Structure 1
Amino acid sequence: MGGFGQIFAGLYKVIYQTDKYDDYNMAKQGKGMFWGPVVNPARKDDPEAMSCDKLPFWVDDNTTPDIPLAVSPKILAEYAYDELPIPSTDFSMSPDGKQTVNLSTWIWADKARFKPVSVTASLPHTNLSATTTATPVSLKLEPGTGEANLHPASGECPINPDGSIGSPYSDAKKNDSPPCGLTYLRASTKSGTYPLKATVTWKISWKSSTGEGGNLPTGTYGKTTAVTVQEIQAVNR
């Protein structure tokens, strides 16, 4: 052990064995624990990741320390946020494959594809826990070109009560406008494809064992699909 290591070892021995605590609080074994700074691996590159630099301190079971940056219900909720099992933004499309100028593209997602998901984070030896829930709100379409009409015009397709999006295409609907979709007005001849982007917005809320709760920043998750748009004189689905 080098000189600095010996200095720190001696410092810790003074603080935790002879100064603040009696023999590292061994007499309280099972009735509490030392708390110390820990970096969330999922946030290790955040600028604030190393902002907690307080030396380890003792906390009795079922108590919450009034210490800046100590674990709180909201911190647990934010940790649970990182663990939410958000499904991938997959959808069905008709026509499937190449699209055609002036022919509506229907977009939909199956029933219960997008439904609320929750994660609970808790801290052992305390009464602290927090549940974070993500609720899907809408699917936003971006056609990848200014020469396209969106359905609805805002490009925001609401999530249906059963967790589906839009409505599947059928021959009986061939003269209808899709509740969720778009119509390309020009072929993708020059660019080869258009980058069709579909993004689901999720509202994030949390509640805790202490009664605290609220909202966390909205989450957006999406995917981009390369779409080829052709121009033909006659169309059959």
Structure 2
Amino acid sequence: MAVLDFTEDRQACQLPEPGQPVPAPGAPTGPGAPPVYIIDPAVLAQEARDSVSLALPRPHTSPPEDGFQLVGLQTWFWIDPGQWRPVTARAELPGIWAEVTATPVTTTWTPGDGGAAVVCPGPGSAHPGTTGARTECGHTYVDLGGFTITVDMTYEVTWRASNGVSGTQAPIVVSADLPIEVQQRQAVID
């Protein structure tokens, strides 16, 4: 989890240093009274969101992407399962913090041949190597050639603050490309 340091921002905004008292709403004002700061936890949550570190998805295919795909044979799509996990980040100021959690919800695969995008509710899976296996997260190529598969991994973003306030933010989408070659093979029968 990333934790942000707002040392420069604190100085620019004349916020008290850590450990210094922060006046409560309704605190006395006037000459000599300390300034009153009201920190919007949603703004702090945005700072936390900006620091979320999400790796690009690592796409894979079956048949393996380092070989070639075959015309008429379904290509399975998946990303490394270890990437399918929530990621958190926190931003803090004296007296308050906000934590953001980005949770993966879908992978969207654009096959690169003009075919429709495939939306998967998870990371997909490798072919199990058994006859008759099926996947909802795949595509059947009908043309020969070189194509670029694009995978978009969408994260749902929620946040919560130390004062009990919480909310949602716009989704985060990270993308990666995978070049592939589609070939045709024919069986020879004697």
* TM-score (normalised: structure 1): 0.62
- Secondary structure of 2:83's aligned partner: coil
* Alpha-carbon spacing, 1:143–1:111, altered in 2? closer, same or farther (3 Å): closer
Q: Would the aligned equivalents of 2:60 and 2:77 in 1 still touch at CA under 8 Å?
A: yes
Which amino acid in 2 is paired with 1:122?
A: E
Which runs of 5 or more structure 1 residues have no equivalent in the other structure? Answer: 1-33, 38-55, 160-164
Which runs of 5 or more structure 2 residues have no equivalent in the other structure? Answer: 1-8, 25-34
Which structure would you say has the larger Rg? 1
* Aligned twin of 1:171: 129
Equivalent-residue separation in structure 1 for 2:15 and 2:183 (angstroms): 69
* Aligned twin of 2:86: 116
Q: C-alpha root-mean-square deviation of aligned residues, in Å? A: 2.6
Q: Would the aligned equivalents of 2:57 and 2:83 in 1 still touch at CA under 8 Å?
A: no
* Aligned twin of 2:76: 106
* Aligned twin of 2:3: none
Matched, 1:224 2:177: yes
* Aligned twin of 2:121: 158
List 4+ stretches of structure 1 deviating above 6 A.
64-67
Equivalent-residue separation in structure 2 for 1:156 and 1:176 (angstroms): 19
1:84 paired residue among 43, 52, 67: 52
Q: Would the aligned equivalents of 1:167 and 1:179 in 2 still touch at CA under 8 Å?
A: no
Which amino acid in 2 is paired with 1:199?
A: D
Shift of 1:57: 4.6
User: Which one has the bigger helix percentage?
Assistant: 1
* Aligned twin of 1:186: 143
CA deviation vs aligned residue, 1:181-210 (integer Å, no higher than 9, x gap): 11111111xxxx211100100001100011
Which amino acid in 2 is paired with 1:214?
A: G
- Aligned residues, how many? 165
Shift of 1:108: 2.2
* TM-score (normalised: structure 2): 0.75
Shift of 1:179: 2.9
User: Which one has the bigger strand percentage?
Assistant: 2
* Aligned twin of 2:5: none
* Aligned twin of 1:75: 43
Give the 5 Å matches for 1:41-52: none
